[in-house]
Amino acid sequence: MPALSDVSIQPLDVILFRGVDAVSHAICFFEGKVFGHGDFSHAGVAVTREVLDLPFLEPGRVYVWESTLSAPAGLYGHAPYTANLLDVFAVVFPALRSTRDRFDSAEDRMAYFMNHVLEKARAHKRLVDAEHHMFCSEWVAMVYKRLGLTRSDLDPRAIAPVEPLARRDLFAEPVLLEPAK
């Protein structure tokens, strides 16, 4: 198995890895039960300054653009990680997706009402619409979909971190790396 130094990571490559916290263990457990692979709990997209020209990115360096619970708000590429368990479980349990979608739609309507209809509500903290709270693999799939790099019928909200292993029809053959020593 190659080491990270043996491979060339290209912009827009999907980066999969496994966290060590309880949430990561739970994600891997459910993915193993549903998909037969419980190898990865997190996903991100490789970017460089050459493809995303932001002044604070150093030329020639590879960065991982991700959605995470641990990064403070406002960091580069930060999409707040959803803490909604219905969103998380709907990724691996399709029967929950219609319920999740109904709740998100109601939340979006409420956010619109609070942010656009009630002028006085602007003095209070704004509600953020559901699209801005994403599971990590949902974030990756959304980026790919918006760039036209995947099938148009792909539902980003139905992609789990382990999908590149489980869905060979959507993703290229993965390159598994030797863990860092």
Q: What is the pLDDT of residues 13-42, one digit of tens each?
A: 888 888 888 888 888 898 899 888 888 888
Give the other-Cβ count within 10 Å of 135's Cβ: 25
Q: What is the pLDDT of residues 43-83, one digit of tens each?
A: 888 888 888 888 888 888 888 888 766 555 444 545 555 66
> pLDDT at position 38, please?
86
pTM of the model: 0.62
Q: What is the pLDDT of residues 89-138, one digit of tens each?
A: 888 788 888 998 888 888 887 777 666 655 554 555 555 555 556 778 88
Q: Domain-by-domain residue ranges, the chain? A: 8-166
Rounded Cα distance, 74 and 40, in Å: 26
